[in-house]
Amino acid sequence: MSRLRRTVKDAVYGVAVGDALGVPVEFRARDTYRIDGMTGGGTHDKPAGTFSDDTSMTLATANSIRICGGIDLDDMRERYRAWLFDGAYVPDGDVFDVGNTTAVALRSGKGQDGERDNGNGSLMRIVPLAFVEDVTDEQIEAVSAITHSHEIAKRACVIYVRFAQALLDGASIAEAISALGDLAAAAPFDRVARIADLARDDIGSTGYVVDTLEAALWCLATTGSFESAVLAAVNLGDDTDTVGAVTGGLAGIAYGYKAIPPAWIRALRGRGILEASLF
């Protein structure tokens, strides 16, 4: 297998597009709507192409790596705080969507490790780490733990990054799932190896980190293009922006920036903020 010619741009734009597609229908029940392209209004009454906390925190992660030349936990934390409290990495400065665990962690300066702190708030921002050379599992877990420090949330982030890196190394989606091996062998991740065989009704799309990870992998494994993967994701309902973003990051790596429909890229608000955070 040869390494794909992918950069963090492929992943970050994938995150932003998936996020923006899902924002208008966040919290909507499955099959009560249909998203076929970039729309506005809806849940948060935002213009079409508006991304949310998923993309903003991903940009903060990427920008920290760009500035520091690697992983600096203190710098990342401060950039996340700049997003939450100062509106950094947001097109219009309006931080309109933040998870409870993330908010508590950034206000207190301590990652949250309770059973109820296994939301997808660290998974949604972790994809830039796939582009950090020789990143360790411990470093991935430490970046998660800035906000989400429970073992389940941390392990989900490791699985996601390793899956992304397998794609970067030229693996097919099926091969990348298989390559996870023991990482995803034990509960609650034991469905990952057979994710492609599950029916849509078996896939959750809540804010629980395991649901989000499974949904993203299922969308990748059961479709054949960037467009079909992210549309499958945002049409699952519930936490549509984050499922879209997490799926989009992987689909951006699998298919590349050029596979993203140009109309969706043109519709994105804050593209200058995206470009400024790439490395």
CA-closest candidate to residue 259, choices 267, 246, 248, 275:
248
pLDDT at site 244: 98
Q: What is the pLDDT of residue 194?
A: 97
Are the C-beta atoms of residues 13 and 256 closer than 8 Å to each other?
no
Amino acid 230: pLDDT: 98
> What DSSP character marks residue 29?
P
Residue 47 to residue 199: CA distance in whole angstroms: 33
The pLDDT of residue 4: 72
Look at residues 46, 45, 21 and name the one whose alpha carbon lies nearest to residue 34. 21
| pLDDT score for 96 | 86
- The whole-number pLDDT of residue 67 equals 97
Q: What is the pLDDT of residue 217?
A: 98
- Give the CA diameter of the chain: 45
pLDDT at 1: 54
CATH superfamily of 8-276: ADP-ribosylation/Crystallin J1 (1.10.4080.10)
List Cβ neighbours of 226 (8 Å cut-off, separation of 6 or more).
Answer: 14, 248, 251, 252, 254, 255, 256, 259, 260, 261
**Distance of alpha carbon 144 from the chain centroid:** 12
Per-residue pLDDT of the chain (279 residues; tens, 9 = 90+): 556 789 999 999 999 999 999 999 999 999 999 999 999 999 999 999 999 999 999 999 999 999 999 999 999 999 999 999 999 999 988 898 899 999 999 999 999 999 999 999 999 999 999 999 999 999 999 999 999 999 999 999 999 999 999 999 999 999 999 999 999 999 999 999 999 999 999 999 999 999 999 999 999 999 999 999 999 999 999 999 999 999 999 999 999 999 999 999 999 999 999 999 999
Predicted pLDDT at 97:
84
pLDDT of residue 3: 67
